[in-house]
Amino acid sequence: MNLLNQVKPSSYFLPQNQRKYFKNPLGQIIKNRQDIVEFINKLSQDDSTPKVIAVGDATTQVLVELSFIPDIAIIDEHVQREKVPLLEIENASVVEISNQAGYIMQNAWIEIINSLKIEDNKIIIRIIGEEDLLVLPTILEAPLDSKVLYGQPNEGLVVVSVTEEVKQSVCGLLLKMVKINED
C-alpha cells in the first residue's frame, strides 16, 4: 500500500505513547570520526546526489568543520538541549520559522519544500523551537537519492539515502502522530 498519498504537508503532534517508534535510526549510523570523514570526502566528490540536507546543529557543525556545506541545514541553536551559537555559513541564506518541540508544524514543512526548490544557494533554516522531528518531512520531500544527515544522540551520524522505501517508512511514522487540523 502506498502511504505517500495519505501524508500531506500539515501539522502533527507526537504523543508520549508513540515516541518509542521514533527512537530507531532511519538510516545507517556512522559511529567514529574517521568513518565520518571518509563518508563526507566521498560525498563531496559525488555529483550524483541531488541534495544533501543536515538536520541538527551538531551534524551541521561536523560537516562545516570538514569543509562540506550541505544544501540545506535545519538548525535550532541547541545541541542536546544546550544553547549553541548560530552557525556561520558563508553566502548562505537564513530563513527563520517556528516549530514547537514534539511537533511538525505545517509552516516548517512548507519551508522545507520551498528550500528544496532552490538550486544555486545554500540555505539555513533556523528553527525557533525544535528541529528534531523535521527530519521526517525532510526525507519525504527530498528528491530520491538525496542524503539526509542527522545525529543519533551518543551514537553517531545517521545517513539516510532517500528511497521510496524510506519514504514509506517515514509515512508510517507520521501516521502514528496526531494530525492537527488547521482551519
pLDDT single digits (tens) 104-114? 999 999 999 99
- Does residue 7 surpass a pLDDT of 90? no
pLDDT single digits (tens) 115-165? 999 988 899 999 999 999 999 999 999 999 999 999 998 899 999 999 999
C-alpha cell at 114: 520551498
pLDDT single digits (tens) 58-71? 999 999 999 999 99
Domain spans, the chain: 10-180
- Confirm if 87 and 70 have CB atoms less than 8 A apart: no
- Does residue 24 surpass a pLDDT of 60? yes
pLDDT above 90 covers what percent of the chain?
A: 79
What pLDDT is attached to residue 77? 86
C-alpha cell at 21: 517508534
Instruction: From 121, 65, 69, 71, select the one nearest 93 (Cα to Cα).
Output: 121
What pLDDT is attached to residue 113? 96
- Using a cut of 0.75, tell me whether the model's pTM lies above it: yes
